[in-house]
Structure 1
Amino acid sequence: MEPPAGAAYTDTPAADLALQVRSLYRYYQTGTTVVRALDGVSFDVKVGEFCAIVGTSGSGKSTLLNQLAGLEPATAGIVRVFNRDIAALNERELVEFRLQNIGFIFQSFNLIKSLTALENVCLPLVFKGVNPSLRKKAATVLLQQLGLQNHAGHLPTQLSGGQQQRLGIARALIANPRIIYADEPTGNLDSKSAQETLKLLKKIAAAGNKTIIMVTHDEHLAQYADRIFKISDGKLVAVSRGTISDNVNKQ
């Protein structure tokens, strides 16, 4: 199945692509019914792009994000992340690949309530075996960059929704991932905090050459992205450019 116009980069070297998705299918069997959660999706994402996957509930956008992260197997098709076919990795290799390359930002923040802000941010470096003094230093720098330096000792429940999401972003960044997957990162935020979060993600992609893939149902907030992939009934039906082009370096 040919991708929509603007979905694939036919003249871009593989080394410059963060994602290559080709003819991706994911079917589920529910009783006698086959659900086509993904139905032949194909697209590319360049290194350093901020892309949004937009669709209504049940469109297949969350299933697509799970496929891109290797969280569930495809029925058919190819997903290459930094030119690695993730279907060819065994479970141990996949865990290691995620640890070294991928960061996650969640709608519900997924912070550990019994840990301070600083300790939450440090957590990915604990899994990587970084010594305590170095991970504390790295987390302190990130908290300062995200305006949370005065909240390092606070528990998540002592922070606002916007602050918790910035904390989640700091946690995703601390291991220096090459690609960040954001699953409805503004879903639990008020409109002002949502806009601030999107401006921050846009700034991170622009300044750090990091690739960001965001799933959202909000077509307005998706306009902060460089490109927008619209999903409907498991198909990629349109690709467009984001219309909000704030000078993020001034934010």
Structure 2
Amino acid sequence: MEILEANNLSHSFDYKLFDDVSFSLNKKERIAIIGMSGSGKSTLLHIISSLLKPQSGSVKLFGEDIYNLNKSKLAEIKRDKIGLVFQSHYLFRGFSAYENLEVAEILSQQPIDEELLKRLDIEHCIKQKVTELSGGQQQRVSIARVLTKKPEIIFADEPTGNLDSKTAHEVMELFFEYCDKNDAGMVLVTHDTGLAQLCDKVYRLEDKELKREK
């Protein structure tokens, strides 16, 4: 079942980033988008995850054309069905790591999974302020926050960029287990071709086109 449908997306800033991009995502499916820096990967991810309106084309999430929805309906989808992981963590820096997770717990009405904290190796530092954590620890807290929401689609932009290779693969295994268990899909933007090959499909954004590689 399609949970994401991108149709004929085009976008420019000072120059054309991409043109006539189309693809879809099904439940339990993991898609990777790779390409050189500046090719438009992150911009494409922002568009399909409801953060940036495309200059042309459409995006449907769960059958809803998101850029034709009213603000309250779009906010509901973002709150209840979408999980966003970025290399910049966007944690509440005045809060502890646990308080950041509590925000997700309150908004989604989903309990914090203590086993998830152990899998991410953050249970020992969860009471510390975000500013006291390393970049890798902050990244793992942001991943725990997203998975606490129980989203139906995970959009991840270089989610393992601050992690060593071993931890990166462990985190990807965790994402994949989550998708399988919860019928969720995932779109991953990455420079790491090894991680990309773990996904069901791989697309390369190059020369303004999105091309299927796997």
Q: What TM-score does the superposition give when structure 1 sets the normalisation length? A: 0.77
Contact residue 184 and residue 216 of structure 1 kept, 8 A: yes
| Offset from partner CA, 1:96-145 (integer Å, 9 cap, x none) | 220111011111222223222211111124445x5xxxx6x535464245
Question: Within the alignment, does 1:210 sit opposite 2:184 as a pair?
Answer: yes
Counterpart selection for 1:228 from 174, 199, 202: 202
Match of 1:20? 5
Counterpart AA for 2:88: S
Partner letter of residue 111 of structure 1? L
Pairing partner for 1:67 from 47, 54, 58? 47
Residue 54 (structure 1) shift: 0.7
2:130 to 156, 163, 173: 156
1:230 match: secondary structure: strand
Residue identity in the other structure for 1:67: I
Give the Å deviation of 1:232.
0.7
The answer to which structure, 1 or 2, has the higher relative contact order (CA under 8 A, 6+ apart) is 2
Instruction: Report what 1:8 is aligned to.
Output: none
Name the structure 2 match of 1:181: 155
Which SS does the other structure have where 2:186 is aligned? strand
Q: Distance in 2 between matches of 1:214 and 1:163?
A: 20
Q: Does the CA-based 8 Å contact 2:18-2:207 persist in structure 1? A: yes
CA RMSD of the aligned region, Å?
Answer: 2.1
Uncovered stretches (5+) of structure 2, i.e. residues with no partner: none
Q: Which residue of 2 aligns with 1:56?
A: 36
Structure 1 vs Structure 2: percent identity of aligned residues? 38
2:82–2:152 Cα contact (<8 Å) kept: yes
**Corresponding letter in the other structure for 1:80:** K
For residue 170 of structure 1, give the secondary structure of its aligned residue in structure 2: helix
Shift of 1:157: 4.0
SS in 2 for 1:19: strand
The CA distance in 2 between the partners of 1:194 and 1:147, in whole Å, is 12
Decide which structure has the larger Cα Rg and report it.
1
